Amino acid sequence: MCGIIGYVGKKAASPILLEGLRRLEYRGYDSAGVAVLDKANLAVRKKLGKIDEGIARLLKADPVAGNLGIAHTRWATHGAPSDKNSHPHLDASGKIAVVHNGVIENYDLLKQKLIQAGHKFKSDTDTEILAHLIGDYYEKRLAKSWWDERPREPKATNGSGSPGASPHQPPKGDTLTQAVCDALREVIGTYGLAVICADFPHTIVGARRGSPLTIGIGKDENFLTSDANAIVAHTKKVVYLNDYDVATVTPEGFEVFNLGADTANVQISNLEFSQEDAARGKHAHFMLKEIYEQPQTVLNALRGRLDFEGATAKFGGLNMTAAELRGIDRIVIAASGTSWHAALVGEYLIEELAQLPVEVEFAHEFCYRNCPLDKNTVLLVLSQSGETADTLAALREARRRGHRALAIVNVVGSTIARESDGGIYMHAGPEIGVASTKAFVSTITILTLLAVHLGRMRHLSAKRALDVLRGLEALPKQIEKILTQNHLLKKLAKKYAKADDFFFLGRGYTFPIALEGALKLKEISYIHAEGYSAAEMKHGPIALIDDKTPTVFLVPQDAMYDKTMANLAMIRARKGPIIALASEGDKAIRKVANDVIYLPATLDLLNPILASVPLQLFAYHIAVARRCDVDKPRNLAKSVTVE
Ligand code: AGP
């Protein structure tokens, strides 16, 4: 949700920032802008619209020079998408430029205070308030320091963090960093922040609270970004900042201190993915690439975790002993959006295989409704990005209440990964398409493994566990087979692309997949789609069925087959067109469905994984047929880092 990149070094900043913005665009694409410093000359360019039509054109027509700069791609929170509301924003003097992700909650109060002091604002954003506040403190610091020492630019050390001159304080004399800290002490809300000042031609100041920020360590150059994708072409050495960290970044190094602690916890990590992993390759869209990666990403999720000898699954990072795992009485799974749908599948899996009670919560509801948690309840959060604000808040709430919180996460080093007590990585590689696909399937794959692991500590027989493990092992090949039906799904998509409404129905294990199929279609094609339990349909929603409302029926030959077929007949009787996802060899379905997509035979509990893939392709091709921007759907952004 919004993207930040900053560069300081010897190279021209503008092309690096522009390329970084392109890589960050999936984070927000309402508008974008850059601020570049050439000695004391601060140049700002910003423009409404996507990168290539907006800021890239502007920079071509009106270039900026300099070896230091910050840039931002926006997903609007305060103030409509427009040129004036785009970042960077300047302070009153025009010397300080700020880019910001997050929300300043007390911005109105701060704004009134600044207006009384004579400040005038050009935009409707909370970020401009912050820029003015920093500028105000900077002027005060300057006025004070004039008598004892002139403001000087910091000489940051060679890449190691330092706690600053005294606890909670930036290095003495670093006026810009100090002014940023002064301002942040007044701020309520969340921020990932990059600040530059015309008086400091070699310094970027970054700060984080609740919105990710990472330092990229180069040779004679350094970076600051909200998302490592933006800098992986330049360096693989990074430092993930923690909440309340403030960083001063120069070409020679960086210093980090923490506003709330005596020392900052600075650890250098290596990025696990390459530039190619985060590129679209031969595919027309990232979403399509990611759908096609699934045979591999499922393999990655399974790698090293299938234990045929012990008839169980094994994990390295749960950080719980067998006795502790055995002692869990109840699991609450909290997640948002697509990950919440995966959680519903997880509930069915864990309850069936481990006979452990599971409750699924929207992450935001979990945080604020004070649900009872007894002492042996564990919270499990699911998140592709590891940065979703609602999910992070749920994790923190559970931990605050003294509960253990585990996580299934894709992005290595993300905040949720770092703050959880233990967890399991998906190893699915960067997911850039705003509509989540491969991460959903990886999450369910891992939940199946986890259910086996917990089940084998309870009543699950070795035989049943081995069946599941073998079923899991067969998935990559089966997904490959489903992908060969792409042409058929494309044809179907063309046939149904003009529909205004859709239903997606399933029962048992495929009920959550019906919800997910509907969400995929809504997100990228803007068609109204409802996911329902096929059984629930008759209790009301069936009133909406007519000959123009297609239903995608998930009807594999599982334990619910006969009952789902009866539900299907009800739709048929009302002339609703039916697209069925059925098991290979099911001939009967042809007689009642208008169109059929076949799924390879598997265990009932693995149907969610296989059924997801054709639904992803179906949504994808409908969106393409309707000429929608698949990777940048309107109003959305990857990773929602505001509550
Ligand atoms: C998925 O297609 C969505 N764009 C969205 O619902 C997403 O799954 C949700 O915001 C949660 O994201 P996370 O998995 O990164 O936490």
What distance in angstroms lies between residue 252's CA and the mean position of ligand 1's atoms?
A: 37
Q: pTM for the whole thing?
A: 0.86
User: What's at 225, amino acid-wise?
Assistant: T
Asked if residue 431 lies in contact with residue 300, where contact means CB atoms within 8 angstroms, the answer is no
**pLDDT averaged over every residue in the chain:** 93
Rounded mean pLDDT of 103-123? 95
**Token digits of residue 139:** 């002027």
For 560: left if phi > 0, alpha if psi spans -120 to 50, otherwise beta; the answer is: alpha
Listing DSSP states for 153-215 in one string gives -----SS-----SSTT-PPTT-HHHHHHHHHHTT--B-EEEEEEETT-TT-EEEEEEBS--EE
**Would the pLDDT of 513 be above 50?**
yes
Active-site positions read 2, 638
Mean pLDDT of 483-512: 97
For 509-524, give one letter per residue: b (16+ CB within 10 A) or e.
bbbbbbbbbbbbbbbb
CA of 335 to the centre of ligand 1 (A): 9
Ligand 1 atom with the smallest distance to the CA of 338 is 8
In the numeric block, which tokens belong to residue 388? 């979703």
Residue 578 β-bridge partners: 551
pLDDT at 577: 96
What string of DSSP letters covers 72-134?
A: EEE--SSS-SSTTTSSPEE-TTS-EEEEEES-BTTHHHHHHHHHHTT---SSS-HHHHHHHHH
pLDDT of 166 over the 50 cut: no
Task: Tell me which amino acid residue 560 is.
Answer: M
Decide: 396 and 379 in contact? Cβ < 8 Å.
Answer: no
Q: Which residues line ligand 1 (CB under 6 A)?
A: 336-339, 383-385, 388, 391, 434-436, 523, 639-640
Q: How far apart are CA 228 and CA 212, in angstroms?
A: 10
Predicted local distance difference test score (pLDDT) of residue 350: 98
> Nearest to residue 506, comparing CAs of 453, 581, 454?
581
The model's confidence at residue 150, banded by pLDDT at 50, 70 and 90, is: very low
- Residue to mutate (ligand 1; options 341, 391, 436; most atoms within 8 A of CB): 436
- Residue 157: predicted pLDDT: 55
| Ligand 1 atom with least separation from CA of 519 | 2
Q: Which residue minimizes the CA distance to atom 16 of ligand 1?
A: 383
- Assigned token pair, 292: 């096609």
Question: How far, in Å, is the centroid of ligand 1 from the Cα of 363?
Answer: 12
Q: How far apart are CA 403 and CA 219, in angstroms?
A: 43
Residue 569: pLDDT above 70? yes
pLDDT at 77 exceeding the cut of 90: no
Q: Give the pLDDT confidence score for residue 290 in this predicted structure.
A: 97
Q: How far is the CA of 428 from the centre of ligand 1 (A)?
A: 15
Residue 463's φ and ψ, nearest 5 degrees, are: -65, -50
**Largest Cα–Cα separation, the chain:** 90
Q: Whose CA is nearest to atom 8 of ligand 1?
A: 338
Q: 158: pLDDT confidence band, cut at 50, 70 and 90?
A: very low
pLDDT at 94: 96
Q: Whose CA is nearest to atom 7 of ligand 1?
A: 337
CB 603 within 8 A of CB 559: no
pLDDT confidence tier of residue 180, bands split at 50, 70 and 90: very high
At residue 268, the pLDDT reads 94
Residue 172 has pLDDT above 80, yes or no: no
Q: How far is 332 from 381, CA to CA, in rounded Å?
A: 8
Would you state the pLDDT for residue 506?
A: 96
Pocket test for ligand 1, best of 339, 391, 419 (most atoms within 8 A of CB): 339
Q: Please tell me whether residue 597 adopts helix, strand or coil conformation.
A: strand
Output the residue whose Cα is nearest ligand 1's atom 10: 337
Residue 107 has pLDDT above 70, yes or no: yes
pLDDT for 312-353, tens place per residue?
A: 999 989 999 999 999 999 999 999 999 999 999 999 999 999
CA 352 to centroid of ligand 1, rounded, Å: 26
Cis amide prior to 512 (ω within 30 degrees): no
Confidence band, pLDDT 50/70/90 cuts, at residue 152: low
pLDDT value, residue 281: 87
pLDDT at 26: 84
What φ, ψ does residue 224 adopt, rounded to 5°?
Answer: -135, 130
